[in-house]
């Protein structure tokens, strides 16, 4: 599906964008923030299509993926997806729709300098040239400063759309020159349904993968495409180990269990780096459930572990749970920075076990 109809569970950003367009109030720079895989870049492309579409149409309530009960109007304007301009943009062949993305780990100053040389000239054929800077948080300091001048003195008929994880990752002066639009994580139920439809997975597997994805459909697709691992069985095994061996009740927080159990789990997890990241996400969802149970038991994700979650939740504080989650975050960053894998997981397991 072309345009905004292909973007799920982002009613508010789409409503804002279409309203800006219909009112002739599109700013020269937009900043889309949110976790990876929630539709920021897809929405940027759809908006570029809308700004240049030759045959716009309206989405009515019986079309698309929108919940019209949340919208102020009974329709949304949408690019047609069929005109020459829409087809070029959708296939990434439009000369005036420019995508800048990281080369390796960063967006470098040479990329922004080349961009600045291009945008001083008039667009070739577009009504509005659109520059999409994907993962803008990965611009080097020099690249960010080079872009800033263009944001301060924007060329005519040019819109900048930056995507990033969060505002704090960007230079404040860049943020101040953009209209900020926040994209929320995709609900677990929506990701589950999309996995069933797109990958033809069974509902139980889809729900497990959706819980691991933490609101990112792109991440769910990546996990679900790996057919080598039975996610349901792995999750059940891991949660059973955590809940019944060295991480149960007070032992998780106060009692030092035999080191053999801790290091055996560490050894097993560290043997598969790809599966390790998923395992850490499973543990985080379990810790999250322990915290959530205190206030909203009905929102627990690992519902089959509800008895254990209830028991642990009654014994521990939010501060303690937060400390464990932060330890996982730190381990994940260390692993991404190529720290010694086994040592990192050993330390993490000791912290989770309260040792």
Closest alpha carbon to 37 in 209, 281, 161, 219:
219
- The distance from CA 136 to its chain's CA centroid, rounded to whole angstroms, is 14
pTM of the predicted model as reported, rounded to 2 decimal places? 0.71
296-331 pLDDT, tens per residue?
888 887 877 888 888 888 888 888 888 888 999 899
Q: Hey, is 180 helix, strand or coil? A: strand
More confident residue, 98 or 231: 98
Is residue 34 pLDDT above 70, yes or no?
A: yes
Q: Evaluate if residue 49 carries a pLDDT over 60.
A: yes
Q: Which two tokens mark 3? A: 């345009």
> What is the tens place of the pLDDT at every residue in 273-289?
778 888 888 888 888 88
Higher pLDDT, 225 or 49: 49
Segments in 53-103 forming alpha helices (H): 84-90
**How far is 318 from 125, CA to CA, in rounded Å?**
56
Give the pLDDT of residue 259: 64
- pLDDT at residue 2, as a whole number: 64
Weakest-pLDDT range from 136-145, 153-162, 172-181, 249-258 = 249-258
pLDDT at 31 over 60: yes
Which has more confidence, 262 or 288? 288
pLDDT at position 115: 95
User: DSSP letters of 260-289?
Assistant: HHHHHHHHHHHT-HHHHHHHHHHHHHHHHH
Cα distances from 233 to residues 105, 140, 266, in angstroms, run 35, 42, 18
Report the C-alpha gap between 95 and 130 in whole angstroms.
Answer: 10
Distance CA(164)–CA(101), nearest Å, equals: 11
pLDDT at 170 over 90: yes
State yes or no: pLDDT of 272 exceeds 90: no
Per-residue pLDDT, averaged over 153-165, amounts to 93
Mean pLDDT of all residues in 19-41: 93
Q: What is the pLDDT of residues 195-216, one digit of tens each?
A: 888 887 778 778 878 877 778 8
**Structural domains of the chain, ranges and CATH numbers in brackets:** 3-182 (3.40.50.300), 229-352 (1.20.272)
Segment of 76-80, 159-163, 245-249, 302-306 carrying the highest mean pLDDT: 159-163
Highest mean pLDDT among 57-61, 183-187, 196-200: 183-187
In this structure, how many other beta carbons lie within 10 angstroms of the beta carbon of residue 75? 15
Confidence of residue 56 (pLDDT cuts 50, 70, 90): low
User: 3-state secondary structure string, 208-221?
Assistant: HHHHHHCCCHHHHH
pLDDT for res 212: 75
Look at residue 237 in the predicted model and tell me its pLDDT: 82
Among 121-130, 207-216, 333-342, which is the least confidently predicted range? Answer: 207-216
The whole-angstrom separation of Cα 193 and Cα 220 is 11
Q: What are phi and psi of 301, to 5 degrees?
A: -85, -45
3-state secondary structure of 132: strand
Number of H helices, E strands in the chain: 15, 7
110 CB contacts (<8 Å, ≥6 apart)?
none
């Amino acid at each position: 599906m072309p345009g905004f109809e292909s973007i799920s569970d982002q009613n508010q950003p789409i409503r804002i964008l279409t309203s800006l367009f219909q009112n002739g109030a599109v700013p020269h720079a937009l900043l889309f923030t949110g976790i990876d895989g929630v539709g920021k870049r897809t929405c940027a492309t759809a908006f570029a299509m809308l700004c240049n579409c030759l045959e716009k149409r309206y989405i009515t309530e019986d079309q698309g993926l929108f919940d019209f009960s949340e919208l102020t109007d009974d329709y949304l304007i949408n690019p047609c997806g069929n005109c020459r301009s829409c087809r070029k943009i959708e296939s990434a062949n439009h000369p005036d729709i420019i995508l800048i993305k990281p080369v390796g780990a960063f967006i470098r100053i040479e990329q922004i300098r080349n961009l600045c040389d291009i945008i001083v000239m008039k667009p070739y054929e577009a009504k509005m040239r659109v520059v999409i800077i994907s993962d803008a948080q990965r611009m080097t300091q020099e690249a960010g400063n080079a872009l800033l001048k263009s944001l301060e003195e924007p060329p005519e008929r040019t819109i900048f759309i930056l995507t990033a994880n969060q505002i704090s990752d960007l230079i404040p002066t860049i943020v101040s020159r953009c209209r900020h639009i926040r994209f929320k994580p995709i609900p677990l139920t929506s990701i589950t349904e999309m996995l069933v439809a797109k990958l033809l997975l069974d509902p139980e597997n889809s729900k497990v993968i959706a819980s691991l994805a933490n609101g990112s459909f792109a991440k769910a697709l990546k996990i679900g495409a790996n057919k080598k691992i039975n996610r349901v069985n792995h999750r059940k095994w891991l949660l059973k180990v955590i809940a019944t061996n060295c991480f149960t009740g007070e032992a998780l927080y106060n009692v030092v269990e035999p080191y053999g159990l801790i290091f055996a789990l560490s050894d097993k997890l560290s043997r598969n780096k790809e599966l390790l990241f998923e395992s850490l996400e499973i543990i985080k969802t379990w810790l999250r459930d322990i915290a959530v149970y205190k206030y909203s038991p009905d929102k627990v994700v690992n519902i089959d572990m509800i008895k254990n979650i209830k028991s642990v939740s009654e014994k521990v504080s939010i501060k303690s749970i937060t400390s464990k989650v932060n330890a996982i975050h730190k381990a994940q960053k260390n692993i991404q920075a190529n720290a010694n894998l086994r040592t990192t997981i050993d330390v993490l397991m000791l912290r989770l076990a309260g040792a």
